[in-house]
């Protein structure tokens, strides 16, 4: 409590687990939406709108296009929230507006029957969602002191894992029955509910001083990173980009892999069940990862996550049944949980606190950028599958594994202390 006051930050009625849950409730909804739409709802919708032989290409283009919008929108909105003097605080007005617009475009996705209209709806949804998410990410460094951010990030990641556990079986079951309206309606209700929990549960003090620069200058300066002051942040961005290229590619095409290679019935339902099991494994390890991140440092955990994910994805083409999917996918899932928890804790320590919204918005260059590039694997799958059935997935998974390994090399370049604070470069 005193630490927050000393840093000029508003108090969150103490720093207990319940406070972290309120702070991260919206993360739960964002995870449910992402892990329902991208791996289950959209693949099913796209498959019914395009030629079957090119389904992966069309799906990849849809998701890639939406994420390109997110790359720009999230950091810009984060930067605008940094300068906001609204009486509700810097972040909450953006969260409210972005959520209400997201509800509108989710409703549009539920109604469309044409691929190109679906594409337009997804682009607008990404703009609305990132209007909320960019500023929302600034709440954690605003309200939580540096020495507690590993634990806070662990709760954030736990909420996201819970989102996977909830989203996957529900979306898989409903889409398997053709209940697209109910599936998307539930996403809308959850977004609205958690937005209210977080927005009403946290206490923001409004910014009282006027911004130092004009509105337009803020937007133009959004992507300006002082590389010489924050080299570790650049390496962190590279690590995150490469890891998420591999992870998002795997997530996007896993349903088609189950259908085309493993040959299990009801691939949407099976994919949902697999994600639940993986989500449970991730949830089991997340809090311990956050605990370890605060004590032994985030960097060793990120190295372990990269190596574990690479091993899992190299083995995945060998899966020919539920046991193999669980074993190899479980290793990837646990590695992803460690990566997300330790990685976000490190990011909140590497960014300058006075510009947390802008810098954490810039992280979307890696988050959405990596996810977007991962979606471009669709043509790889379709072209190599045309040569030999299943070959496309083997090639794609090999590329994913290489991305995990290169990301591990990048994070080794970050110079940090035990608490994740960036060390000055050595003097010559």
How many CA atoms does the CB half-sphere of 68 hold within 13 Å? 11
Exposure class string for 198-235: b at 16+ Cβ within 10 A, else e: bbebbebeeeeeeeeeeeeebeeebeebeeeebbbbeb
- Model confidence pLDDT, tens digit, residues 235-261: 888 999 999 999 988 888 888 888 888
- Model confidence pLDDT, tens digit, residues 126-159: 999 999 998 998 888 788 776 677 677 778 877 8
Of residues 415 and 203, more confidently modeled: 203
Where residue 18 falls among pLDDT bands split at 50, 70, 90? confident
Where residue 356 falls among pLDDT bands split at 50, 70, 90? low
User: What average pLDDT is seen over the chain?
Assistant: 81
**Tokens 């591999």 identify what position?**
246
Supply the pLDDT for residue 15: 62
Supply the pLDDT for residue 4: 35
Supply the pLDDT for residue 7: 35
Quote the pTM value.
0.67
Among 210-214, 245-249, 291-295, 370-374, the range of highest mean pLDDT: 245-249
Where residue 222 falls among pLDDT bands split at 50, 70, 90? low
Please say if the pLDDT value at position 6 is more than 60.
no
**Which domains are delineated in the chain?**
2-207+215-411 (1.20.1250.20)
Mean pLDDT for the stretch of residues 394-423: 82
Where residue 333 falls among pLDDT bands split at 50, 70, 90? confident
Please give the Cα distance from 223 to 135 (Å, whole number): 15
Please say if the pLDDT value at position 1 is more than 50.
no
Q: Are 157 and 334 in contact (CB under 8 A)?
A: no
Burial zone of 315 (CB within 10 Å; 0-12 exposed, 13-18 middle, 19+ buried): middle
Of residues 380 and 7, more confidently modeled: 380
Query: Collapsing DSSP states into helix, strand and coil, what is residue 254?
Result: helix
**Chain centroid, CA 384 distance in Å:** 29
CA quadruple 141, 142, 145, 151: dihedral sign: negative
Where residue 28 falls among pLDDT bands split at 50, 70, 90? very high
Supply the pLDDT for residue 311: 95
Supply the pLDDT for residue 126: 94
Supply the pLDDT for residue 8: 35
- Model confidence pLDDT, tens digit, residues 279-332: 666 666 666 666 666 677 788 889 999 999 999 999 988 887 777 877 888 888
Of residues 171 and 397, more confidently modeled: 397
């Amino acid at each position: 409590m005193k630490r927050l006051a000393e840093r000029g930050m508003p108090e969150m009625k103490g720093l207990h687990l319940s406070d972290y849950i309120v702070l991260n409730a919206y993360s739960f909804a964002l995870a449910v939406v992402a892990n329902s739409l991208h791996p289950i709802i959209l693949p099913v919708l796209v498959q019914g709108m395009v030629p079957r032989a090119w389904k992966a290409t069309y799906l990849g283009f849809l998701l890639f296009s939406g994420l390109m919008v997110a790359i720009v929108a999230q950091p810009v909105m984060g930067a605008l929230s940094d300068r906001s003097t609204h009486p509700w605080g810097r972040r909450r007005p953006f969260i409210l507006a972005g959520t209400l617009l997201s509800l509108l475009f989710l409703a549009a996705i539920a109604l469309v029957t044409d691929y190109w209209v679906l594409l337009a709806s997804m682009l607008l949804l990404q703009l609305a969602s990132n209007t909320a998410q960019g500023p929302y990410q600034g709440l954690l460094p605003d309200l939580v002191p540096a020495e507690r951010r590993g634990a806070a990030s662990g709760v954030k990641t736990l909420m996201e894992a819970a989102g996977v556990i909830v989203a996957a079986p529900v979306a898989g079951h409903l889409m398997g029955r053709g209940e697209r309206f109910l599936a998307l309606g539930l996403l809308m209700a959850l977004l609205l509910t958690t937005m209210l929990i977080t927005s009403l549960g946290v206490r923001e003090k409004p910014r009282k001083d006027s911004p130092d620069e004009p509105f337009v200058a803020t937007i133009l300066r959004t992507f300006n990173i002082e590389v010489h002051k924050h080299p570790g942040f650049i390496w962190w961005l590279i690590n995150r980009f490469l890891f998420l290229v591999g992870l998002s590619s795997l997530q996007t095409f896993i349903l088609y892999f189950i259908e085309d290679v493993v040959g299990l019935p009801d691939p949407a339902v099976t994919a949902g069940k697999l994600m639940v099991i993986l989500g449970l494994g991730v949830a089991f390890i997340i809090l311990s990862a956050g605990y370890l991140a605060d004590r032994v440092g985030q960097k060793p955990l990120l190295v372990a996550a990269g190596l574990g994910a690479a091993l899992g994805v190299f083995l995945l083409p060998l899966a020919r049944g539920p046991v193999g999917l669980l074993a190899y996918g479980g290793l990837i899932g646990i590695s992803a949980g460690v990566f997300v928890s330790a990685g976000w804790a490190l990011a909140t320590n590497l960014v300058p606190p006075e510009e947390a919204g802008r810098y954490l918005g810039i992280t979307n260059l890696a988050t959405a950028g990596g996810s977007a590039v991962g979606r471009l694997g669709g043509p790889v799958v379709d072209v190599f599958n045309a040569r030999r059935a299943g070959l496309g997935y083997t090639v794609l998974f090999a590329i994913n594994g290489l991305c995990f390994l290169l990301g591990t090399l990048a994070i080794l370049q970050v110079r940090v202390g035990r608490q994740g604070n960036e060390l000055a470069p050595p003097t010559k």
